[in-house]
Structure 1
Amino acid sequence: MKLLFKISTLLLIIILCNFFNLIYGFPGSYSGCSSISYSQNELDTIPASFDVRTNWGDCMSPVREQQSCGSCWAQVTSGILADRMCIESDKNIKMLLSPQYLMDCDGSCVSDGVSGCNNGCKGGFVGLALTRLINEGIVSDECLSYQASKDSSCPTTCDDGSPISNTTIYKATSCRAFPTVQDAQYEIMTNGPVIATFMLYSDFKPHKWDVYIKSSNTQVESHAVRVVGWGTTSDGVDYWIAANSWGTGWGDKGYFKIRRGSDEAAFEEGFITVTADTASVPTSQYGLEYQFGGNSSTFLKPSFLILLTLIVLYFLLVPIILS
Structure 2
Amino acid sequence: MKPSFYIVDDDPGIRRILSNIIDNYRLGYVIGQAKDGKEAINEIEELIPDIALVDLLLPSADGIEIVKKIKNKNINTQLIMISEVTSKEMISDAYKSGIEFFINKPINVIEVVSIVENAIETLNLKKALTLIGKTMKNSNYRIFKDNTNNVENDIKEEIGKVFSDIGILGEAGSNDLMNIIKIIADERKQLGVKFHKYRASDLYRKLNQKYKDENKPVVSVKAIEQRVRRVIQSSLENIASLGIEDYGNIKFEKYSTSLFDFTEVKRQMDYIRKKSSYRGKISVKKFIEGIFNHIDT
Say which structure is richer in helix.
2
- TM-score, structure 1 length as denominator? 0.23
Higher fraction of strand: 1
Q: TM-score, normalised by structure 2?
A: 0.25
